[in-house]
Amino acid sequence: MSVLVEPLTMLRPDGRPYERLPHVETQLGRMLLLPQPERLAEMPDAYSETVAYFIRRRKHADEQLFEVVFREVCKRITGAGRRHVRGLPKIAAQEIVDKVEIQILELLVKNSADPAGDFFEVGFAQGVEGRTRNAKRGYKRSTMGGRRGWIVTDETDEVGDEIERPIELVADDAPGPDDMTIAIKNEELRRELFEGVKPRVKPMYLEAAILFYVENWPIRSKDPDTASLERRYGLTESQIRYRIDVVEKAMRAWLVERAEARRACAAKGNML
């Protein structure tokens, strides 16, 4: 037994709407009928297109579902993206994957009603590949031109086909590692940053991040008299790093939203 899943709204060039693959449609119809605990248990093994469906239609009150699907989406974006940056310098490869991850998360989470997000319910891996290839092309052009700044441009569509129009490469406003360091070192901005992400992450995750970033607690320490996050939480190093990584991703998304809000206010002021 399954339920009818609402159709997608994004249109193909010929005017026909995109359609999910039959196996995705079947899985969605079945999972929508499951009790929440069973749905959560199945999410790690669900198709990526199914996960994209659930994160786009999340309910803010359901923090547990959001946490699970957010973790799955992040894992699948980075996993798919890394396959397409092999051969690049390690720092450049990570920066490309981070930029693509933020770009896709904005589309699926912040702008979840945008029809462009429909593509990730049709071909998730292809969507990540197209954006990663686009970012990789921008990086290579910037290095050949001797530029230090580069941006994930819009010169390919969702399936990675080039759009025939010139694009100028400019500095990107997406927060990178340096922006995070500056934000966290600034006491006033840091307070605003942690307050902004508080509703988006678990309290224990936020506490671990504050101890790590602000109080300079090490994740692990050989000295039995030195406080460490491993000892405090009784978790492994990878589990601690995962919690901090979740908070950092939420911080980056918050910084992007903050910058966009300021630009919107400035644009509105210029129109008056």
Could you tell me which of 166, 169, 121 has the C-alpha nearest to residue 145?
169
Could you tell me which of 45, 72, 41 has the C-alpha nearest to residue 56?
72
Q: Which tokens in the block code for residue 256?
A: 């992007």
**0.85 exceeded by pTM:** no
Share of the chain above pLDDT 90, in %: 28
Residue-wise pLDDT for 70-83, tens only, equals: 889 989 999 999 99
Q: Which tokens in the block code for residue 20?
A: 């999910």
Rounded to an integer, the average pLDDT of 178-184 is: 55
Kindly compute the dihedral angle of the four CA atoms of residues 139, 144, 145, 147, in this order, to the nearest 10 degrees: 50
- Residue with the two structure tokens 């009150």: 61
Instruction: Indicate the residue type of 208.
Output: A
- Characterize 51-75 residue by residue with b for buried, 16 or more Cβ atoms within 10 angstroms of its Cβ, and e for exposed: bbbbbbebeeeeeebbbbbbbbbbe
- Asked if the model's pLDDT at residue 11 lies above 90, the reply is no
Instruction: In the chain, list all ranges with CATH 1.10.10.
Output: 177-262
User: CATH classification of 177-262, choosing from 1.10.3470, 1.20.1260, 2.40.160, 1.10.10?
Assistant: 1.10.10
Residues in CB range of 98: below 8 A, 6 or more apart: 176, 252
- Asked if the model's pLDDT at residue 161 lies above 80, the reply is no
Residue-wise pLDDT for 88-124, tens only, equals: 888 888 888 888 988 898 889 878 889 999 999 999 9
- DSSP 8-state secondary structure symbol assigned to residue 4: P
Q: How many CB atoms lie within 10 A of CB 214?
A: 14
Kindly compute the dihedral angle of the four CA atoms of residues 103, 108, 114, 115, in this order, to the nearest 10 degrees: 110
Task: Look over the chain and give the mean of its residue pLDDT values, rounded to a whole number.
Answer: 79
The pLDDT score that the predictor gives to residue 269 is: 60
Measured CA to CA, the distance from residue 255 to residue 179 in angstroms comes to: 9
Q: Which tokens in the block code for residue 252?
A: 């980056």
Query: pLDDT band for position 52 (50/70/90)?
Result: very high
CA 118 to chain centre: 16
Share of the chain above pLDDT 70, in %: 79
